[in-house]
Amino acid sequence: MRLTPKQGEELLLHGDPIELGQQADAARRKLFDDTVTFIVDRNINYTNVCKNECKFCAFFRRKEHKDAYLLTYEEILEKVRETVECGGTQVMIQGGLYPDLGLDYYEKMLRLIKQKFPSIMIHSFTATEIQYFAQQAGLTVLDTLKRLQEAGLDSLPGGGAEILVDEVRKRVSPKKIMTEDWLHVMECAHSIGMESTATMVIGFGETMAQRMEHMEKIRRLQDKTGGFRAFITWTFQPGNTELGGEKTSGWDYMKTLAMTRLYMDNIKHIQGSWVTQGERIGQLTLGFGADDLGSIMLEENVVRAAGTNYEMSINKMADLIRGAGKQPAQRDTEYNVIRRF
Amino acid sequence: MLAAENYKDIEEKILKGERLSREDGIRLFHCPDIAWLGAMADHVRKKKCGDIVYYNVNCHVNLTNVCTSKCKFCAFGRDLEDKGAYSMSKEQALAVVRDAMKDPDLAGLHVVSGLHPTWTFEHYLGIVKALHETFPHLYMKGFTGVEITHFAQISGLSIEEVLIRLRDEGGLQAIAGGGAEILSDRVRGELCPNKATADQWLEVARTAHKLGIKSNASMLYGHIETLEERVDHLLRLRELQDETGGFQTFICFPFLPKNTELGKSVKQTSMWDDLRTMAISRLMLDNFTNIKAYWVMLTVPVAQVALGFGANDIDGTVHKETILHDAGATSPTALSENQIIRIVKEAGRIPASCDCNFNIIKQYE
């Protein structure tokens, strides 16, 4: 029997988190036994200029700000080259909404990467960016996606979903795309065989009912398209943002994560976030329904310091997974296991 | 509840309230199902102590960090001539507490210190006496089994005599749980040969309990001990508790490697290990009422999650922690009472401040 949003809300409000965790863990075990995956990839943020100015964001700059930047193609290609050399299989290119760059700028970026590095998977651009590209180019979202796919875009990350309830969005990111827009971009992508992930960001002061509404909207679209590979829950990081406030507790995160495993019965992979929760809570997610810990995220300095540090961070990830009594495995974008440890 | 595979028999015992064996304890440490362990421990916690989570509004006073013990897991102890070595005078100790008194809700003190090479027992006692006489309304918890053994050795008094003087002159109401480390002569021989042995530590607790002074117990894990030694440690505490009933709370201390000699070869425990150890402690120590999630070592988020893994005690506001922060603890050095209340409430439990003998001072529904 599928959980209803009402049941989910009731469990989030009054359910026993450990019991939820156990059920979520049982559901995970059925699918994955004791394998836990992660990916070696790199985030490339081609620009920090963004016209959206979301209240929860500490990254964006106005175009005229002294720290504003836009990477050149050469810089981007260099980062991709380093990623490939380190055994990375994917790049996640994301930026702000930079005014005045035509769609051909992105098409050329994708083509150049694929020409030089045909094996790398390009899992890039959030729905927010896609919609913005479309608007700027005067095209439909579907046609924009087709052109980007043609140029080499393999897959869409699920960021920018935050909470898919307009009431919440209007409060925290009024200039960003609204719920229907985000879902529309995903639906268009899935319709042309471009799969994606989905995310949820908790801790904006949203209600449990609103979290369930978010999950329900994604579950419903997944019933229709089947194009979401994974669901990822992050927590809002209040540091250096206009929104501010207290960080969501570990309890809240674990409970919500377990709920996503139970509720999203049609999405195979549930990713635990060590990036927003820290390694310690990240490890614990593996007992509460998560089967994947996402990316080890090759950082600038780490990549530059060559082999050693990078191996360390893969080893660290493997240790973290082993510490939870699971078998670590490196995966690709499509969740195929490519290396075991 | 969904029993982990091959653990149905243990689950049955737990649900019936039967005592777990040494072998059960060892098997639990090999259980891959952390949520089940948590559920079991949480079940026992709920049955035994309900939803209240205890905390102290307290101030830690560490009279000196000069210590002859040289434990390999310690980053706090110094030699007399080392940089950073300090030995508080009576006046300095009083000043620490006076500063902490800015919090009108301050209820008590936790006094734990190094084994100073030149201080006499009278000297330690004199400071505690001054604290007690100046702040008679603050409860006084302090001294570990290791310090009390040391006091007996340097003064020529018996353990019992030391305890009576600390109680009658220094106002001591309860003994701190530290210094138990792992109650195994093998482990102590390697890590801390210069201080109380396992038997001596237990003897202090036994003597105190006979005098009607309650004490706490602890386990420092995640260094060179085996999982079997962890279980044996818990069993030794359980045995003494059967005999005296004088232990009030049990504290799990994960070893913090930073700045310690041992840290060169040992990595920090994982969250997974911390939580299963917490849960298994709750399950094995069936005659302990309280299990503490010590946020200073566990970090605040882990301590909060630990409330679902058997813990019903989250220590206290602390005022200014130093011993573990020397070992690289990343937690804050103090929490406000409001923060503690929020952390406990978020975990769906009822915060209650208490004194060092678990008498409730204030409860927040």
Tokens of A96: 């702000």
The closest alpha carbon to B35, from A11, A254, A319, belongs to A254
Which residue of chain A comes nearest to B40, CA vs CA? A18
| Long-range contacts (CB closer than 8 Å, 24 or more residues apart) made by B196-201 | B196/B145, B196/B146, B196/B149, B196/B150, B198/B236, B200/B145, B200/B149, B201/B145, B201/B146, B201/B149
Residues 6+ positions from B44 with CB-CB distance below 8 Å? B14, B282, B283, B286, B310
In the chain, the amino acid numbered B117 is P
Measured distance CA(B32)–CA(B40) in Å, rounded: 14
User: What pLDDT is stored for residue A241 in this prediction?
Assistant: 64
Tokens of B146: 């290791």
Chain mean position to CA B340 = 18
- Cβ(B138)–Cβ(B109) below 8 Å: yes
The helix/strand/coil state of A321 is helix
- Cβ(B316)–Cβ(B338) below 8 Å: no
Which string of b and e fits B273-288 if b means at least 16 CB within 10 Å?
A: bbbbbbbbbbbbbbeb
Q: What are phi and psi of B226, to 5 degrees?
A: -90, 165
**Chain B interface includes A10 (CB < 8 A):** no
Strands in A41-45's sheet, in edge-to-edge order, are A41-45, A90-94, A121-122
What does B67-135 look like in DSSP terms, one character per residue? -S---TT-SS-B-TTSTT--B--HHHHHHHHHHHTTSTT--EEEE-----SS--HHHHHHHHHHHHHHS
Taking only the tens of pLDDT, chain A with its 341 residues reads 899 999 999 999 998 888 899 999 999 999 999 999 999 999 898 988 888 777 777 778 888 899 889 999 999 999 999 999 888 999 999 888 888 889 999 999 999 999 999 999 999 999 999 999 999 999 999 999 999 999 999 999 998 899 999 999 999 888 888 999 999 999 999 999 999 999 999 998 899 999 999 999 999 999 999 999 999 999 887 765 666 666 678 888 999 999 999 999 999 999 998 887 778 888 999 999 999 999 887 765 444 444 444 555 888 899 999 999 899 999 999 999 999 99
**Residues of chain A contacting residue B39, judged by C-beta atoms under 8 Å apart:** 18-19, 22
The closest alpha carbon to A254, from A242, A238, A237, A270, belongs to A270
CB atoms within 10 A of CB B29: 16
Q: What is the DSSP letter of A178?
A: -
**Residues of chain A contacting residue B42, judged by C-beta atoms under 8 Å apart:** 16, 18
Q: Residues in chain A, how many?
A: 341
**Chain B interface includes A281 (CB < 8 A):** yes
User: What pLDDT is stored for residue A34 in this prediction?
Assistant: 92
What does B301-357 look like in DSSP terms, one character per residue? HHHHHHTTTT--EEEE--SS--TTTTTT--S-S---HHHHHHHHHHTT-EEEEE-TT
User: What pLDDT is stored for residue B213 in this prediction?
Assistant: 97
Residues 6+ positions from A33 with CB-CB distance below 8 Å? none
Taking only the tens of pLDDT, chain B with its 365 residues reads 556 678 999 999 999 999 999 999 999 999 988 889 999 999 999 999 999 999 999 999 999 999 999 999 999 999 999 999 999 999 999 999 999 998 888 999 999 999 999 999 999 999 999 999 999 999 999 999 999 999 999 999 999 999 999 999 999 999 999 999 999 999 999 999 999 999 999 999 999 999 999 999 999 999 999 999 999 999 999 999 999 999 999 999 999 988 888 988 898 898 899 999 999 999 999 999 999 999 888 888 889 999 999 999 998 888 777 777 887 877 777 888 888 999 899 888 999 999 999 999 999 98
**Chain B interface includes A288 (CB < 8 A):** yes
**Residues of chain B contacting residue A22, judged by C-beta atoms under 8 Å apart:** 1-2, 33, 35-36, 39
**Residues of chain B contacting residue A287, judged by C-beta atoms under 8 Å apart:** 33-35, 272
Measured distance CA(B17)–CA(B22) in Å, rounded: 16
- For tokens 């702040």, the residue is B135
Please give the angle made by the CA atoms of B298, B299 and B302, to the nearest 5 degrees: 70
- Cβ(B173)–Cβ(B139) below 8 Å: yes
Most A CBs within 10 A among B31, B40, B268, B270, hence the mutation to make, goes to: B270
User: What pLDDT is stored for residue B318 in this prediction?
Assistant: 81
- B34–A279 C-beta distance less than 8 A: no
Measured distance CA(A37)–CA(A321) in Å, rounded: 9
Strands, E assignment, B222-303: 247-254, 290-292
Helices B8-16 and B34-49 sit at what angle, rounded to 10 degrees?
10
Q: Residues in chain B, how many?
A: 365
Tokens of A309: 């540090």
**Residues of chain B contacting residue A16, judged by C-beta atoms under 8 Å apart:** 42
Among residues 302-331 of chain A, which lie with CB inside 8 Å of chain B? 320, 323-326
